[in-house]
Amino acid sequence: MSVPAHALVADELQPIHPAPTSFLRRYLFSEDHKVIARQFLWAGLIFLLLGGSLAMLIRWQWAYPGRPVPVVGRLLLGGSGGVIGPATYQDLFTMHGLIMIFFAITPVLIGAFGNFIIPLQIGARDMAFPKLNMLSFWTFALSQLLMILSFFAPLGPAGAGWTTYPPLSTNVGTPGAGQTLVVAAIFVTGAATIMGSINYVTTVIRLRAPGMTWLRLPLAVWGMWLTAILNVLFVPVLGSAALLLLLDRSFGTQFFIAGAASVRGGGDPVLFQHLFWIFGHPEVYILILPAWGIVGDLVSFFARKPAYWYRGSVLAMVAVTVLSAVVYGHHMFLTGMSPLLGQGFMLLTLIISVPGMVLVFNWLYTLWRGSIRFEVPMLFTLGTIFVFGVGGLTGLFLGDISLDIYLHDTMFVVGHFHFTMAAASFLGLMAGIYFWFPKMFGKQLDQRLGRVHFWVSVVGITLVFGGQLLAGYAGQQRRLYDPFEYTFISHLRGLNRWTSYLAFALFVGQMVFVWNFLASALGKGRAADRNPWQVGTLEWTDAASPPAHHNYDHIPSVLRGPHEFADPAVRQALGRDWIGQAEELPDPVASATGRA
Amino acid sequence: MRPLPAAGPAPARVIPHPEASHAVTAHLGMVIFLASWAMLFAGLFFAYGLVRSRAAAWPPLDQPALPLALPGANVAVAALGSAALLLAARPLRRGDPRAAARSLAAAALLGAIFLALQARVWTSLWAQGLRPDGGPYASVFYTLTAFHAVHVLVGLGALVVLAWRAWRGSRGSGRPVPARLWTMYWHFVAAVWFLMYLTVYVL
């Protein structure tokens, strides 16, 4: 078969570079997007485990406040005889939040999957700027190192909450070097994110294979691309906030300090909240858009049907991206914001649920009457849809000002954002890991262990975060060291204790995944086929498992969209229910006459 | 029965030259980077606006007003630097690295003048008792101008390297792309300075 001219041009524009041979260039300072993806995956999963362990300590405190932590207590908290003290408790929930958001979910969902699937799914040989990509990972690794170092600082790591609100986060509230290190880590990780995102945005615009039009992109690429745009535009705003906070902490400037400690009236603590949430609200969509994209593709792949209203899903994700930039005020309803402004933010916040619902309905319609294959990635996809539904609906409560006045700063908020940012992002990224693991490592994960992991995760997550919602609705404030000191919360001790037991079970259940992952990635797991899921996107149809250093010997010429399932013409010609994005369909007339 | 949707050959394309294609990619990356950095400065300007709107008096009665002349001259210096870089583009395209090196060096010199003038502004205000920890007025002034100066310094370093390479005719001197990217960067830094001059010094 002759190679079309435009494909040759594409080959020439991205020449094949020989794979590096030295260990250092191949595994450590690699410019290969697939290696960098695996580096992000390992770095992120290790921190996911660390963040989860911190959560267990928090849950212990809520179950048995003031009692020594069993097993690890004496080791970690020798000074207090294993008891979690109030300051340590603050450090725990602060570091749990920051680690999970910036150093676990972000690197896995965006760093690992973005790096892995963007070039492969658009039919490119690598990112647009491979060196920048390498720099992005090592900058990120530096930020992780700063986080680790902060644990060893005198007075402990950061303790001002993940939102790092001043005046608590200034020297007045948290004088230790740990808080400074953590703010610096946020700034550095922001720089790493920006480098990666510049790469993602440019790569999708410039390096799509011939025929890979915008509306033939897999939804996962759309989600990743829109996330990258939000990262490029809004992470710098967080950078400005972190920069000003660092200056306040280290050079005595007066941006956020107010009250008695200030000079000449000082600045305004609310300024930080503005800057933080201008970034922070896009951030929650930054963490969910990649998962939405993955879910959009996977429901189609495993329901063996074209994605319902693909354009609608794309438009909805674009709409969410745009709207996410103008709703941040709903985090600040109780800062004395003008009621008129508050109502504007409330309206925009409630409007953003419309494109969200378009996505959910598109997924449900895709499932409707499909021949669903309940493989492990599909189970996690369905779990994502469920927990995201719960998270989205509870968001409507909080977006409404009159209800938010009651629910603000309660465990209801904690439950809500755990259902969206933690549960949906976590299950989404697990769907991605189970789905792309064969392509990433060339081995299969054990599917039976995967099923066990799924059921433990989805049931555990729902009950644990559901317990938080209930506690919050009953009036339990978040971040309390010993909530049961308060008479109006003391009757919630049983609920908290049971939630903690379930959280411990959830954590232990994750060890099934740890074992499965390590055994398959490092051990002699079963070799994966080229296309074990029988789907049509380029990484499965046109590249080996794992792909060669240059991904594609010839850059594929794309002919159709990513979700071509159950087409009678394809079934007649090829005898299967799927066709590759770059696969030529034999001429039906010729094959028909051939049979006759 | 549903027809096979959107199946068809890839649309014909104008065949680009690899070098030109890579240049477009690099420029796009630079535009995205500058958009990102513009948001960082936007965050700082936002902070300036909010802090200033809360202040009872601006400048505070016991603190010096900011000068207008030297920072204003720096608007011209930065603009001249941009102009010098525009002049470097043509000889680079023609393949005359020596001529380009002269323009690049001129731009670098203008960058150094910019920093010198800005240092003069800082020292004179410092001598009048304005310190970064002297309240919000001093904080925003020093932070915004110093953060901008860091960007000038980075640009200055890059221009010196580019000029040196072009003069020596060494590695990379034949490629106009790095110089064009740093030209974009310099335009950005100059434009931010113009806005900063209007916001911080004039208004």
- What does the pLDDT look like over A290-327, one tens digit per residue? 999 999 999 999 999 999 999 999 999 999 999 999 99
Quick one: average pLDDT of A127-136?
Answer: 96
Secondary structure letter of residue A85 according to DSSP: -
For residue B157, what are the contacts with CB-CB under 8 A and spacing of at least 6? none
Minimum distance, in Å, between the CA of residue A43 and any CA atom of chain B = 25
Contact A232 B21 (CB under 8 A): no
Residues A374, A365: Cα–Cα separation, whole Å: 17
Residue in A240, A255, A561 closest to B5 by CB: A561
| Predicted pLDDT at A588 | 62
DSSP reduced 3-state for A410: strand
Q: Position of tokens 């207008």?
A: B68
DSSP reduced 3-state for A551: strand
Contact B43 A568 (CB under 8 A): no
| Predicted pLDDT at A7 | 65
Sign of the CA dihedral running B122, B125, B127, B131 = negative
Tell me what the pLDDT averaged over chain A comes to.
93
CB contacts of A564 in chain B (<8 Å) are 4-5
Cis peptide before A166 (omega within 30 of 0): no
pLDDT tens digits along A176-204: 999 999 999 999 999 999 999 999 999 99
Minimum distance, in Å, between the CA of residue A270 and any CA atom of chain B = 9
Minimum distance, in Å, between the CA of residue A459 and any CA atom of chain B = 39
Cis peptide before B59 (omega within 30 of 0): yes
For residue A156, what are the contacts with CB-CB under 8 A and spacing of at least 6? A87, A88, A91, A176, A178
Report the length, in residues, of chain A.
596
pTM of this prediction? Answer: 0.94
pLDDT tens digits along B62-107: 899 999 999 999 999 999 999 999 998 888 888 788 888 999 999 9
pLDDT tens digits along A565-591: 999 999 999 999 999 999 998 876 555
CB contacts of B25 in chain A (<8 Å) are 128, 202, 206-207
Contact B132 A247 (CB under 8 A): yes
| Predicted pLDDT at B2 | 47
Secondary structure letter of residue B66 according to DSSP: P
pLDDT tens digits along B22-54: 899 999 999 999 999 999 999 999 999 999 998
Residue in B5, B25, B40 closest to A206 by CB: B25
Minimum distance, in Å, between the CA of residue A526 and any CA atom of chain B = 36
Residue in B28, B40, B135 closest to A236 by CB: B40
Contact A560 B5 (CB under 8 A): yes
Which phi and psi (to 5°) does residue A583 adopt?
A: -90, 130
pLDDT tens digits along A7-50: 667 787 888 888 888 888 888 899 999 999 999 999 999 999 99
Chain B interface disruption, residue of A127, A254, A565, A589, most B CBs within 10 A: A254
What tokens appear for A126 in the block? 């690598």
